[in-house]
C-alpha cells in the first residue's frame, strides 16, 4: 500500500491519494493536501466543507456526494464548485483524509 507524508507524519493512501485510514489524519495536514490539489489557501468556507465531510464520514461511514453536500453542508452547489473546481466531494474528501465518496448522483 502506498504511503505519503503530511505534516511530518507518514500516512497510508490509496492509488489516487485518498486516506485509507482516516484516523491517521489531523487538521494540520489539510493545508498541505490542499496545496497539492491546487488550492493555495483554505478559506473558512473550505474548512466548513472539510469539517462537514469528516462528520458525515464519522456518522455514516462514507463521505457525502456533491448533491448531499449541496443540500446539507450549508454551501450551495455553485459555491462548492468555486471552492473545489476539480470536484467538490472528491477534493474535499481527499483534504479531509477520508476515502473517496462513492455514489453516482
Nearer to other proteins, 9 or 67 (CB): 67
First vs last Cα of the chain: how many Å apart? 29
Compute the least distance from the CB of residue 77 to other proteins, in Å: 4
Nearer to other proteins, 29 or 75 (CB): 75
HEC states along the chain?
A: CCEEEECCEEEEECCCCCECCHHHCCHHHHHHHHHHCCCCCCCHHHHHHHHHHHHHHHHHCCCCCHHHHHHHCCCCHHHHHHHCCCCHHHHHHHHHCCCCCCCCC
Compute the least distance from the CB of residue 33 to other proteins, in Å: 15
Compute the least distance from the CB of residue 99 to other proteins, in Å: 15
Residues at the site binding other proteins, with contacts judged by CB under 8 A: 65-68, 70, 76-78, 81, 85-91, 104-105
Query: Of the residues 15, 23, 40, 104, which is catalytic?
Result: 104
104 is catalytic: yes
Determine contact, residues 96/104, Cβ cutoff 8 Å: no
Nearer to other proteins, 29 or 89 (CB): 89
Active site residues: 104
Amino acid at each position: 500500500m502506498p504511503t505519503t507524508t503530511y505534516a511530518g507524519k507518514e500516512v497510508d493512501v490509496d492509488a489516487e491519494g485518498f486516506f485509507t485510514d482516516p484516523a491517521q489524519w489531523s487538521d494540520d495536514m489539510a493545508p498541505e493536501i490542499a496545496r497539492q490539489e491546487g488550492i493555495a489557501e483554505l478559506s473558512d468556507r473550505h474548512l466548513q466543507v472539510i469539517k462537514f465531510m469528516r462528520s458525515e464520514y464519522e456518522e455514516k461511514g462514507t463521505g457525502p456526494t456533491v448533491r448531499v453536500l449541496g443540500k446539507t453542508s450549508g454551501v450551495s452547489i455553485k459555491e462548492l464548485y468555486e471552492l473545489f473546481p476539480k470536484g467538490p466531494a472528491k477534493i474535499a474528501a481527499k483534504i479531509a483524509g477520508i476515502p473517496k465518496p462513492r455514489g453516482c448522483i
